[in-house]
Amino acid sequence: MDILETRQLLERLASLLRTEARNLLFQHGLQPIQFEALHYLSICNRYSDTLMGVTDYLGQTKGSVSQTLKVLEKKGLIEKTPDKTDKRVAHMLVTKAGYNLVENILPSSLLERANKQLSKKDAASIETSLRSLLKSMQHANNFKTFGQCATCIHNIKLSSGGHVCGLTKEALSGEDIELICREHEPNNSC
Ligand code: SF4
């Protein structure tokens, strides 16, 4: 892979998507980074919807993420809720208005239109390559993978058909295993 060329391509793609999102978000008075935090919170599990979870995901400082979350809370898109067992921890729960906003903005219509112009084979190959690149970059820098719970090495499938998290020993519902998690460790057999 030509590193310079690949970087330029990724930057260009990101810039097109950012511009599209910026135009849509302008109507809601939100910055792209604030929407990224909201989107993350809408797809992460209960172990990941904290200030630290968002900080790790966005790769920003705790201070700036804290400001971002305050904006989302003020706009009624998330609600800060104390953890049931550890009162020092607060969960950032996405409100109905927050989910509605995410559904209005995503998926990107620009990407949808581009996807229609690609063959099924090309589209699938792009997705596989991007996933593989992301995985390698996360691995190269010891970044957390934030993968889907169903593909985690700690996800234990019970003979009853249910699932349990090997780290927290808590039961995982069908919905839980679809969400992403900051404690995720890839199960390479998935
Ligand atoms: S099984 Fe893995 S991804 Fe799922 S909740 Fe546990 S640590 Fe997180």
Residues 54-84: tens digit of each pLDDT: 999 998 999 999 999 999 999 999 999 999 9
pTM: 0.87
What is the band of 135 on the pLDDT scale with cuts at 50, 70, 90?
confident
Q: Do 157 and 148 meet the contact criterion of CB atoms below 8 Å apart?
A: no
Ligand 1 centre and the CA of 144: distance in Å?
12
Question: pLDDT tens digits for 2-14?
Answer: 999 999 999 999 9
Taking 3-state DSSP, the helix, strand and coil percentages for the chain, each rounded to the nearest 5, stand at 55, 10, 35
Q: Which fold has domain 3-105?
A: Arc Repressor Mutant, subunit A (1.10.10)
Indicate whether 48 pLDDT > 60. Answer: yes
Q: What is the best residue among 151, 175, 183, 187 to mutate for testing ligand 1's pocket, by most ligand atoms within 8 Å of CB? A: 183
Q: Do 114 and 127 meet the contact criterion of CB atoms below 8 Å apart?
A: no
Indicate whether 190 pLDDT > 70. Answer: no
Contacts (Cβ under 8 Å, ≥6 apart) of 183: 47, 48, 144, 152, 154, 167
Ligand 1, atom 1, lies closest to the CA of 155
- Domain positions in the chain are 3-105, 120-178
Would you state the pLDDT for residue 91?
97
* Cα–Cα distance, 23 to 139 (Å, whole number): 33
Segment among 19-23, 96-100, 173-177 with least mean pLDDT: 19-23
